[in-house]
Amino acid sequence: MTEEFDTELDDMDPAELLEEATASLESGDKDDAAKKYNAVGNIYMSVAEFEEAHKCFEEAQTIYKDLKDETGICDTMYNLGVASINLERWDEAIN
């Protein structure tokens, strides 16, 4: 996925993206689903909805771990850390 496509995802409606992520997951396109969950998490972060962002990043990370996608795992670990800091979950943030 290109950076331009990632940016396009970040500009979409989160509810629409969540529906697309679920559809991708159900159709077996786990990589696309993970990217969309991560993008929704980024959207929620941008509007200070940190709990919702955290949930989306966890979903993306679970999928990336299943795919053994090390880059995706690292990206979501970082995002989970930032969300955890904003939620003042210090133990989660450092792990």
The CATH number of whichever domain residue 35 belongs to comes to 1.25.40.10
Across 1-95, where does the E strand assignment appear?
Answer: none
Element (H, E) at 86: helix 70-86
pLDDT in tens, 47-77: 999 999 999 999 999 999 999 999 999 999 9
Residue 63: how many CB atoms within 10 A of its CB? 25
Q: What is the largest CA-CA distance in the chain?
A: 37
Is the model's pLDDT at 87 over the cut of 70?
yes
CA trace torsion 31, 10, 55, 63 (10° rounding):
10
pTM of the model: 0.84
- The amino acid at 18: L
Full domain range(s) for residue 43? 3-94
Number of domains in the chain: 1
What's the DSSP call for residue 1? -
CA–CA gap between residue 42 and residue 53 (Å, rounded):
7
